[in-house]
Amino acid sequence: MGSKCVNTGELRQAIMNLSGEDFKSFLFKLMLKKSFAVILSGILLLSISTGCQKLEQKNQTQPTSPSPTQTPVQTQSPTPKQTPTSTVSVHLTLGNPTNAGSAPDNYLMVKPQYALSYNRDRGIPNWVSWQLNQSYLGDVERQDDWSPDLSLKEDWYQVRPGDYRSSGYDRGHLTPSADRTRTVEDNSATFLMTNIIPQHPDNNREVWRELEEYTRDLVESGKELYIIAGGVGTKGAIANGKVVVPQQTWKVIAVLDPPGSGIQGITENTQTIAVIMPNSEAVDNTDWRDYLVSVDRVEQITGYDFFSNVPKFVQDEIERRVEGQPPTDQSNCSPAYPEVCIPPPPPDLDCSDIEQKNIKVLQPDPHKLDRNKDGVACL
Ligand code: MN
Ligand code: MN
């Protein structure tokens, strides 16, 4: 508490510290001088300090109770609490990978079509996140109405579509135009420059596009996806340094079964797809599957935390697998490889099985298979 509050414990201790003699003379002087002023001020001091004590106790027992008249103040806490972002936007159901808020380099923008963290100083988003299922797919034409994002703060530079001209880089969509074809408004939203990064044509028009098409194939087969994409690193800048060109592009996808299941739809068996691709001609004539990595790897190179609204033990499972890679152990357990997800039943063998079928027993039960009790199985 502040220094204005007198600690009653200290006051009591000070009185106790007076020797018997001192205390008696103290009282005597008080009575003699009829010093009511002293007594009064003593009472005043005590009442102030007990008042402070009550306030202290109240502060200790109810540190965060919100009252309707009081604005909840952000207290410094050793473990920063995750904002419940799923209530902010359906596109953040699985989490806000950078806990984006109001900082200029991590500025949260929520639109009906997608959510993103904008980086004013890089002139590109850190990431864009969107839900994808059949309800977003219709037959609206590609609008191509590129536009600066006027919802950015007034005094921030608003990247213009012309800033990419003659740069050698495409205006690369993060939320693809073809993922938002239900309404003209939805499709136009994907042409806002806050959804765009400078993307090498070989990346944008080949491997990246093929992965986008693959995700829509999954949606056509009835899946619901949560997709987060962005660029990482810096290989240069365009627009007089106002727009950074990322070194690599990355994408993280969670593939859920029935649409509308929300965060409950994610389990340890949920399929994930993650890629990191060079933002250069190096990807020419390659397959997007050549760039498959674990979600953990993308977290490592970006420093972000994907799926942060998902229980930690589930994250641990689904983030360490690499899609399409044959499993070597439980670490790659996924719907594609159910045999590693469910441990095989223990073999109920006897020695004749082992002899007749030539079955290799790695760890025979010594009691069950040791016929002559010599400590060696099946001899
Ligand atoms: Mn594209
Ligand atoms: Mn994570």
For residue range 60-86, list pLDDT tens digits in order: 333 333 333 333 333 333 343 444 555
What pLDDT shows up at residue 38? 45
- Place 103 in a pLDDT band, splitting at 50, 70 and 90: very high
- Collect contacts of 267-270 with beta carbons under 8 A, ≥24 apart: 267/314, 268/313, 268/314, 268/317, 268/318, 268/333, 269/333, 269/334, 269/335, 269/341, 270/314, 270/318
Please name which ligand lies nearest the alpha carbon of 302.
2
Q: Cα(304) to centroid of ligand 2, in Å?
A: 8
Q: What angle do CA 353, 359, 364 make, to 5 degrees?
A: 85
Query: Of 243-257, 270-284, 288-302, 320-334, where does mean pLDDT reach its minimum?
Result: 320-334
* Å from CA of 91 to ligand 1 middle: 20
d(CA 8, CA 45): 9
Q: What does the alpha-carbon distance between residue 32 and residue 25 come to, in Å, rounded to a whole number? A: 10
Q: Ligand 2: distance of its center to the CA of 294 in Å?
A: 11
Task: Tell me: pLDDT of 126 over 80.
Answer: yes
Question: From the candidates 91, 173, 200, 367, which is the catalytic residue?
Answer: 173
Q: Which ligand is nearest to the CA of 203?
A: 1
| Catalytic residue flag (residue 173) | yes
Report which listed range, 7-11, 56-60, 153-157, is most confident: 153-157
User: pLDDT band at 325, cuts 50/70/90?
Assistant: confident
Distance from the CA of 176 to the center of ligand 1, in angstroms? 6
pLDDT of residue 375: 57
**Alpha helix positions (H), the chain:** 8-17, 20-33, 36-61, 184-189, 201-202, 208-220, 295-302, 312-320, 338-341, 351-357, 366-369
Which ligand is closest in space to the CA of residue 210? 1
In the predicted structure, residue 136 carries a pLDDT above the cut 50: yes
The Å distance, Cα 309 to ligand 1 centre, comes to: 28
